[in-house]
Amino acid sequence: MPPNILVFSYLNSPWCRFQHKNFGAKADGKSDDTQVSGTETFNDQGSLAWSQNNCAKTGTCNSLPINLAFTSITNSKIQDINIKIGDDSVSLGDGSQQINIENVTCGPRHGISVGSLGKYHDEQPVMGVTVRNYTLTSTTFGVRVKTWPNSPSGVASYLDFEDIVMNNVSTCLLIDQEYCPYAQCNAEVPSRVKISNVSFKNIRGTSATKQAVKIICSRSIPCQNVQISDISLQYNGKDGPITSVCKNVKPSAFGKLNPPACANYN
């Protein structure tokens, strides 16, 4: 029988819970037709947990991540939940295929991520991910696809992000194929994860940073068929007009776009 995780009420994790190794929600292994749904809130008080654990810097993490992290799941749905998480609100790792995420709110901390991908050999493709009706508030990133430099070959394709609301979000739209936290990789060698068929549509709200859209693709395998349409993001800070930046990609642009789509393409 496929997993069916129902969430009701407000899950507010007390500080003492973080001392347990297995706290978190994670699906790791082959699983079909998983559904995570509910009516209320995850709040794991992540800032307290991270202050007690520096594994993100050292690379030695013996406990599960404190977020909703999924790998090797197919034909699955995440819907109707409010997430207040210490890391990515939802993280889709390798092997995630035919995933629908909708009617989710999250913040603060990070947003939603596909990846990171390419850190290990023999990772399975990520394909058919749809994120719709997602609201992010005061997150470090909005929607993000991230792959490691100097990676084995991999695939991430058919990723659709639609009807997303950003409230004071830093770097609202991000493809990052130079993801290398705390210098744990050889950043001089490009990623070999092929990213293709990605769409960002009807993204609106406010950016906390001047650079609201950042699409940095691999110089050895540039992103293919990236579409940006109907983007309305505002930045009212002191650093000047809102901007976007693109590298090793030339996205197709449709509709009204603010910021303009990758005017500085290279």
What amino acid positions are annotated as catalytic residues? 87, 110
CA 75 to chain centre: 19
Q: Which of 66, 113, 105, 103 is nearest to 82 (CA)?
A: 105
Interatomic CA distance for residues 140 and 41, integer angstroms? 20
Query: What one-letter code names the amino acid at 38?
Result: G
Interatomic CA distance for residues 228 and 184, integer angstroms? 31
Interatomic CA distance for residues 80 and 118, integer angstroms? 30
Those residues with Cβ within 8 angstroms of residue 63's Cβ, 6 or more apart along the chain or in another chain: 21, 22, 23, 24, 53, 55
Interatomic CA distance for residues 142 and 112, integer angstroms? 6
- Residue 188 near residue 218 (C-beta atoms within 8 A): no
Distances (CA, A) of 59 to 63, 65, 141, 249: 12, 13, 21, 31
Distances (CA, A) of 30 to 4, 98, 108, 254: 15, 13, 30, 37
Interatomic CA distance for residues 173 and 251, integer angstroms? 13
- Residue 144 near residue 179 (C-beta atoms within 8 A): no
